[in-house]
Structure 1
């Protein structure tokens, strides 16, 4: 099969030539996160647990700090899996946050936590708890109370377990239309598919969108970059597909609007494939 790497997501969508009034969407499979650091969020969580056993001020302070490190490590590692530089988030990432977050969440700091929240990787109540934890560690010099430290440990544990569930239920996304997919067997890719890369493909990026022509002779693909706003919508769709159909369809519509800004929402109709 001939492989052709395209220069933009729009170029790939143009080649597929979807009927945007009759789109069909499917999702399947899952991704696996890689650890990019010597220590894992679970390591820091275990340090927190050991610190709590000391039952003195030093132990409580260390436990609180390690609970924060567990969360920071988790957030940075996940975003690193997406090839996102948290030290300098691109404008596309910040615009995405502004578009999907409610007003009370648009000023979340640091920006990495804001993006983490916008991607749907944490329940809002946990984001609030994380922010409170960061404030206690960074801005307060009083001895922490044991119940506050235990709460911090539980927040870190809940966030880690939530991400494990997100990983298990994450989905590759297939965007086609009823004309292209009609009569094809389940699982057959007939349009644009978003997925993580593997093997030799990974050297060019962690995620891509691809399309095979009708005769399966040419494999077109485009490696998504952190400067592509649709990348963030695809990531969000990947994590919420199994849980929130309405939000999934909103993400797909936003992707189509980014690719074809002259379209209106009324011109985009999507159905989930059965």
Structure 2
């Protein structure tokens, strides 16, 4: 259990992440050199620095939320093996790529005048020049991190379970994050089983498309990777969380034809996250 100051993280919107950490041999020589130079940084300190830099970008005197030239950074996950020894796995931050994707998602979801105020065209053009079209396309094909603000997508609870390896990052003010992790091979089995069950018993559910997309995404990475669900600051609002159990029970109930059981599981799940959604809409 990590104890570190999470002050800066508390100034940003609660965001959850689904990440893939790959073994060192999955990276090229240049990335391995960067990893060797960074791997001593504790995870809590990494997250605090990342939050401080994000806050700095969005409060610049000139509106420009994009990161500028900086070497790639890697999160480190120490995952315990069957023999009790831990192995290090690595996830590239891919910050420039993720910032570009976030900006594109905002385009069309808010008024053009407000979008121009938050992300001026000149800043977007400069960011596009720094990344380059080929680098953007290549990075997009191997994006290691998915994110969600003010909640956790329900499909992610199929991926990780409450009894998986767990790390809690907290300080005197509360929980900064809870991170669950499991081997990618095991995760893929869970996703495929759940998708197959929904395809037979509830093909109309949106979660089926979500699980299909997750399965395709996870297959892009090294087979010995580890998948992590990082609740972020959302954890302080819901942990301990029974959502993985409710999702699993709901899918099992559908497979057994128990519609009442499936409905009860969904009601518990929805009511648990209703308060989070209400906080997201609060002014």
TM-score by length of 2: 0.26
The structure with the largest alpha-carbon Rg is: 1
- Comparing both chains, which one has the higher relative contact order based on Cα–Cα distances under 8 Å and sequence gaps of 6 or more? 1
**TM, length-normalised to structure 1:** 0.27
Richer in strand (by share)? 2
